Amino acid sequence: MISEMTADSIAKPEVQEHRAATIQPYLNPYLAGVGLGFVLLTAFVIMGRGLGASGAFTTVITWILSGIAPTHVAGNPYFKEYLGDGSSSILNSWLVWECIGVIAGGMISGVLAGRLKLDIDHGPRVTHRTRYSTAFLGAMLMGMGAKLALGCTSGQALTGGAVLGLGSWAFMFSVFGGGYAVAYFVRRLWI
C-alpha cells in the first residue's frame, strides 16, 4: 500500500516532466535531408530556380543604404547593380519573400517542437561576450565570402550542387576545406 503510494507520488512531478516532454528531438538527418531535397525540387519545378539566402541580405542592405545615403549607393558599382533603376521595391524580390518564409517556417517549426527560447548557443568554455564577437566576425567573413562566390551554402552548395554546377561543387569542397582547416584553432569556442 505504502510503496504503491510512494511510486504514485514519485511519478507525479508533472510540471517538469511535461516541460521535458514538449521539447522534441531533432528529425533524423536523412529524413530532414529528403524533406529539404523535396523543397528544393519544388522550387526548381515551380520557379526554375533553387533556394538562396545571402542574396536577400544584399537586397535589404542596398535598400537600407539607399535610404541613408542615396548618392553614395548610386555611385557604388556593386550596390548600383542591386538597386536597378530604383523603381523596384524590395518587396518585389523573390529571395526576400523566400527568406521571410524561412524565418516564418523556422519559427513555426521551433514553436511546435518546443524549441523557441531566448538563448545563446556556444561551447562550455567561452563567455557570452566572446560568442557575440566571434559570431559577428565569422558572419562578416561569411558575408564577404558569399558575395565573392556568388552564393552561400543555400544558393551555391545546396542548389548549385543539385544542378551539378562546376563552380558550385568546387565551392562546396572549399567550404568544408576552410572549415576543417581552422576548426582546430577555434575549438575552444565549441567543445
Partner 1 sequence: MIAPFFKYGLFGDMTGLVFAFIIGIGFGWFLERAGFGSAKKLTAQFYLYDMTVLKVMFTAIVTAMLGLGFLSMIGFLDLSRVYVTPTFLLPQIVGGLLLGIGFVIGGYCPGTSMVAASTGKKDGMVYLLGVAFGIFVYGEIYSSIESFATSTSMGTVIIPEYFGISYSLVMLAVVFMAIGMFLLAEWSEKKFARRRPE
4 to 43, contacts with partner 1 by CB under 8 A?
Answer: 26-27, 29-30, 32-43
99 near partner 1, judged by CB under 8 A: yes
Nearer to partner 1, 7 or 116 (CB): 116
Interatomic CA distance for residues 12 and 94, integer angstroms? 51
Q: Are 135 and 142 in contact (CB under 8 A)?
A: no
Nearer to partner 1, 21 or 91 (CB): 91
Choices 3-11, 13-21, 110-118 (CB under 8 A): range interacting with partner 1: 110-118
Nearer to partner 1, 13 or 48 (CB): 48
**For residue 84, is it left (φ>0), alpha (ψ between -120 and 50) or beta?**
left
Nearer to partner 1, 11 or 46 (CB): 46
Q: With residue 2 as reference, give the H or E element that holds it.
A: helix 2-10
Amino acid at 7: A
The grid coordinates of residue 84 equal 536597378
Which of 17, 57, 87, 89 touches partner 1 by CB under 8 A?
A: 57
Range 150-189, binding partner 1 (CB under 8 A): 150-183, 186-187, 189
Range 62-91, binding partner 1 (CB under 8 A): 62, 65, 76-79, 91
Please compute Rg for the chain using Cα positions.
22
114 near partner 1, judged by CB under 8 A: no
The grid coordinates of residue 86 equal 530604383
47 near partner 1, judged by CB under 8 A: yes
Q: Are 102 and 53 in contact (CB under 8 A)?
A: yes
144 near partner 1, judged by CB under 8 A: yes
Nearer to partner 1, 7 or 183 (CB): 183
Minimum Å distance from CB 80 to partner 1?
10
Nearer to partner 1, 7 or 107 (CB): 107
**For residue 45, is it left (φ>0), alpha (ψ between -120 and 50) or beta?**
alpha
User: Nearest to residue 40, comparing CAs of 158, 149, 143?
Assistant: 158
